[in-house]
Amino acid sequence: MKILPAIDIRAGQAVRLFQGDFAQSQVVHPQVVEQAKTFKEAGIGMIHVVDLDGALEGQAINRDLIAQIKSETQLAIQLGGGIRQLQQIEDYLAAGIDRVIIGSMAVKDPTFVSQAIERFGADKIVVGIDAKEGQVATEGWIKTNSVNFLDLALDMERRGVGLFVYTDVGRDGTLTGPNLDHYKLLLSALSKAQLIASGGISSLEDLKELKEAGLAGAIVGQAYYSGKISLEQMKEIED
């Protein structure tokens, strides 16, 4: 299982949110490039970066800063936040970003995902499913739709998606443990697609349980920044 430390960017700084609430934003590092270098020096291979400003605005607000992270660290980067146009994906891939996450557009315009896969390849496209009590949340988690997380995942897999990031918004930033029930449901329903866990992870034991359940990866944010999971432990749990 791959462990991806998270860098969520807001106003040029690395922050953590509580349950996706922008009003409950805590700066965890004022210099995102320096934080990325810390991950690089620890031997981390891939990081999960979210442009929170972009998620709200539907634009690549922090594009240049994210490109700087790539150029100065050469870390593999999985990126989400504000992806609404194919041109944005093309630009990020040209800047060296390894995987781009489509979130809100998977709900608003499912054909956008199909077009992205056809144009860039399934290995470059990830679908992010963020849910509140099982219903998909979009637009930076502000809006909740009537779409069920499992139905969306199955539709996306039929469209060729091979990798998902699933976040239980209610657990994100809370350190209350991942929603194992939802991950097991997804894994049992999906035929081939792989799954990355996000939200609520609080301990090395949580990571071990996710690995045992068959998750392909896990994103660690608040647990790292609060000192509950070390970079050494992240490396230890990886295959």
Site of tokens 């291979």: 45
Q: Give the whole-number percent of the chain exceeding pLDDT 70.
A: 95
Which residues touch 200 (CB under 8 Å, ≥6 apart)? Answer: 168, 171, 172, 174, 175, 176, 177, 178, 179, 206
Contact 79, 54 (CB under 8 A): no
Residue 166 has pLDDT above 90, yes or no: yes
Q: Return the percent helix, strand and coil in the chain, to nearest 5.
A: 40, 30, 30
Q: Give the whole-number percent of the chain exceeding pLDDT 90.
A: 79
The β-bridge relationship of strands 21-29 and 13-18 is antiparallel
Backbone angles phi, psi at 37, to 5 degrees: -65, -35
Q: What is the pLDDT of residues 3-41, one digit of tens each?
A: 999 999 999 999 988 766 677 788 999 999 999 999 999
* CATH number for the segment(s) 2-237: 3.20.20.70
Q: Is the pTM of this model over 0.95?
A: no
pLDDT band at 146 (very low <50, low <70, confident <90, very high): confident
Task: Give mean pLDDT, residues 136-164.
Answer: 85
Give the rounded distance of the alpha carbon of 109 from its chain centre.
Answer: 20
- pLDDT for residue 145: 65
Task: Give mean pLDDT, residues 199-220.
Answer: 96
H-helix or E-strand containing 214?
Answer: none
- pLDDT for residue 144: 61
Residue 204 has pLDDT above 60, yes or no: yes
Angle 189-191-194 from CA coordinates, rounded to 5°: 90
Residue 98 has pLDDT above 60, yes or no: yes
User: Is there a catalytic annotation at residue 130?
Assistant: yes
Q: For residue 196, give the amino acid letter.
A: I
- pLDDT for residue 140: 52
The single-letter DSSP state of residue 70 is H
172 or 183: which leads in pLDDT: 183
Which residues touch 227 (CB under 8 Å, ≥6 apart)? Answer: none
Q: What is the pLDDT of residues 69-81, one digit of tens each?
A: 999 999 999 999 9
- pLDDT for residue 174: 78
Round to whole Å and give the CA distance between 239 and 234. Answer: 10
- Of 8, 51, 168, 206, the active-site residue reads 8
Q: Which residue stretches of the chain are H helix?
A: 32-41, 52-57, 63-73, 86-94, 104-108, 110-120, 149-158, 180-189, 204-213, 222-225, 231-237
Cα 67 to Cα 51, 52, 64, 216, distances in angstroms? 12, 15, 5, 26
- Of 53, 130, 168, 172, the active-site residue reads 130
Q: Where are the domains of the chain?
A: 2-237
- pLDDT for residue 24: 78
Q: What is the pLDDT of residues 108-119, one digit of tens each?
A: 999 999 999 999
User: Is there a catalytic annotation at residue 8?
Assistant: yes
Contact 9, 32 (CB under 8 A): yes
Residue 129 has pLDDT above 70, yes or no: yes
Write down the mean pLDDT value for the chain.
93
